[in-house]
């Protein structure tokens, strides 16, 4: 019997060693220069607006228009150069996309040389801009993207409205970019830009872009002042019917493999604000589609983002209660309303009282206490738990010990060699695919496998893996 136990222990260590040796997990510091999968419209819960300022026929540095077509064909909205600026291959791409994708052609108001000092700016000629709009209309595209639309680029309400009217006469939607939303949708008197306080001629169905949404350069843009701007835009959207689209940029000091939290935060916050469209890209690499898919479905927004106290904002959706903290480094936590959904945390820890009030029914709390006692986890005073179905601080302390001991999401070879640890690696696997609540209930609730059955599964797994290993020789 002892010999059999020793053999199983040896096999367990062999398997753990092999799992690390042959793991597909990328090595720390591995290059992230390879393009990641791009989004498709069917994956997203908010409309993706792709921005391709470079050569649309040369995505990911692949000079193949058919590669670009395959990459872009599922996207409902794309902003790119206007038709008069496109190469033959680029026109091939846009012609193939046009039947199913709403294309916006890029033009600019403001200066044609914005990189020069302001005193040397050469403001765009409206007749030249109208000629570009003619190209867009003749190509039967969906709309015109008008950059540098704000007063900070020496624009005026009269010039804005003239171009907007011209685009509307051509049956085109307008999609405008300006840093200050009042420059676009407000009608306040500005001595040099709007001396008569004229309203915008943008109308319901047009679009306004919030560029550098939440992050840009090396820093975040999600503190209280920015939240005021975001909420002001939402108020304009509700009043005027002008759709809001956000564009977030990867921070300069992060690699694409480290952007998952930023992408998820931007993606969820845009939905919480009730906006229409979203995109996440590289500021100087807009033809590289290095996106990761958040895949979180928060459901229909029941109550848009609103201020609670200090830096705390909250949203209610079908599936989540979401709290956003508008600090210098923003963070978020989303509490699920359905058992099958995971808790979502972006740079935020799970509060202890959430486990108490949201995780267990009476029966599940009782089963959890029994299982924790069986596994030998005690309260802070090293006492066994009172099995009363009331998940108090003592029970929480023992549960936290279990979670820490097993690294919860990923099984750690440094974890305590407890029976629960052995159970974790076998029933969860090495990657831990289950959600936070499901993992906890999987281990503790009485409706799941008894401990003895789990040990049998463990032995079968060891035996099968050992046979596979030795069959290689």
d(CA 86, CA 165): 25
Q: Give 74 or 288, the one with higher predicted confidence.
A: 74
Cα gap 67→109, rounded to integer Å: 32
- Which structure tokens are listed for 364? 């599940």
Q: How many CB atoms lie within 10 A of CB 309?
A: 7
The pLDDT, as a whole number, for residue 293 is 62
Report the percentage of the chain scoring pLDDT > 90.
Answer: 47
For residue 451, the model assigns a pLDDT of 46
Confidence of residue 362 (pLDDT cuts 50, 70, 90): confident
Q: Give the number of other CB atoms < 10 A from CB of residue 214.
A: 23
Helix (H) or strand (E) holding 244: strand 243-249
How would residue 31 be classed by pLDDT, with cut points 50, 70 and 90?
Answer: very low
Tens digits of per-residue pLDDT, 153-204? 999 999 999 999 999 999 999 999 999 999 999 999 999 999 999 999 999 9
Which span out of 33-47, 237-251, 257-271 was modeled with the highest average pLDDT? 237-251
CB distance 279 to 245 below 8 Å: yes
Strand 277-281, strand 301-309: pairing:
unpaired
What are the residues whose beta carbons fall under 8 Å from the beta carbon of 129, sequence distance 6 or more? 107, 108, 109, 163
Q: What is the mean pLDDT of residues 403-413?
A: 44
Count of Cβ atoms closer than 10 Å to residue 153 Cβ: 21
Mean confidence (pLDDT) of the chain: 78
In terms of Cβ atoms closer than 10 Å to its own Cβ (0-12, 13-18, 19+), residue 119 is exposed
* Minimum mean pLDDT range among 50-54, 235-239, 297-301, 461-465: 461-465
- pLDDT attached to residue 388: 82
Under the banding of pLDDT at 50, 70 and 90, the label for residue 380 is confident
Give me Rg for the CA atoms of the chain.
28
Q: What is the pLDDT of residue 196?
A: 97
Which domains are assigned to the chain?
41-296 (3.20.20.70), 353-468 (no CATH)
Report the side by side order of strands in the sheet with 344-346.
301-309, 312-317, 320-325, 331-336, 344-346
Tell me the helices (H) and strands (E) count for the chain, helix number first: 14, 15
Pick the more confident residue, 354 or 374.
374
Most confident of 141-155, 385-399, 434-448: 141-155
Dump pLDDT digits (tens) for 104-127: 999 999 999 999 999 999 999 999
Percent of the chain whose predicted confidence (pLDDT) is above 70: 70
Specify the pairing of strand 47-52 against strand 277-281: parallel
Q: Give the distance, in angstroms, between the CA of residue 355 and the centroid of all CA atoms in the same chain.
A: 25
């Amino acid at each position: 019997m002892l010999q059999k136990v020793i053999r199983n222990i040896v096999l367990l260590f062999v398997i753990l060693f092999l799992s690390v040796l042959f793991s597909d997990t990328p090595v720390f510091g591995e290059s992230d220069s390879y393009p990641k999968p791009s989004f498709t419209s069917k994956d997203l819960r908010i409309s993706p607006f792709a921005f391709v300022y470079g050569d649309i026929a040369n995505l990911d540095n692949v000079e193949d228009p058919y590669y670009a077509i395959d990459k872009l064909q599922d996207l409902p909205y794309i902003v790119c150069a206007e038709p008069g600026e496109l190469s033959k291959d680029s026109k091939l791409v846009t012609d193939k996309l046009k039947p199913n994708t709403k294309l916006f052609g890029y033009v600019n108001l403001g200066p044609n040389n914005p990189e020069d000092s302001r005193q040397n700016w050469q403001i765009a000629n409206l007749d030249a801009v109208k000629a570009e709009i003619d190209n867009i209309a003749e190509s039967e595209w969906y709309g015109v993207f008008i950059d540098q639309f704000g007063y900070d680029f020496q624009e005026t309400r009269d010039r804005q409205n003239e171009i907007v009217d011209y685009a509307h006469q051509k049956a085109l939607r307008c999609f405008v970019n300006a840093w200050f939303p009042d420059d676009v949708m407000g009608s306040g008197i500005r001595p040099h830009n709007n001396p008569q306080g004229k309203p915008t001629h943008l109308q319901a169905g047009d679009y306004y872009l919030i560029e550098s949404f939440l992050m840009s350069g090396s820093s975040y843009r999600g503190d209280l002042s920015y939240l005021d701007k975001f909420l002001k835009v939402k108020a304009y959207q509700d009043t005027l019917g002008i759709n809001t689209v956000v564009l977030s940029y990867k921070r300069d000091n992060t690699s694409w493999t480290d952007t998952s939290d930023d992408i998820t935060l931007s993606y969820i916050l845009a939905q919480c604000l009730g906006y229409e469209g979203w995109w996440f890209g590289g500021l100087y690499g807009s033809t590289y589609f290095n996106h990761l898919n958040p895949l979180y479905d928060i459901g229909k927004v029941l109550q848009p983002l609103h201020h609670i106290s200090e830096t705390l904002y909250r949203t209610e959706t079908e599936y989540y209660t979401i709290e956003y903290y508008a600090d210098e480094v923003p963070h978020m936590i989303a509490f699920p309303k359905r058992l099958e959904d995971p808790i979502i945390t972006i740079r935020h820890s799970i509060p202890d009282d959430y486990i108490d009030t949201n995780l267990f029914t009476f029966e599940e709390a009782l089963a959890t206490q029994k299982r924790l006692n069986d596994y030998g986890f005690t309260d802070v005073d090293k006492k066994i738990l009172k099995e009363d179905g009331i998940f108090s601080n003592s029970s929480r302390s023992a549960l936290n010990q279990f979670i820490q001991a097993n690294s919860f999401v990923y099984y750690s070879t440094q974890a305590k060699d407890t029976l629960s640890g052995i159970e974790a690696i076998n029933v969860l696997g090495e990657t831990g695919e289950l959600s936070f609540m499901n993992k906890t209930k999987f281990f503790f609730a009485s409706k799941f496998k008894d401990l003895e059955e789990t040990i049998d599964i463990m032995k079968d797994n060891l035996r099968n893996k050992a046979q596979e290993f030795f069959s290689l020789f």
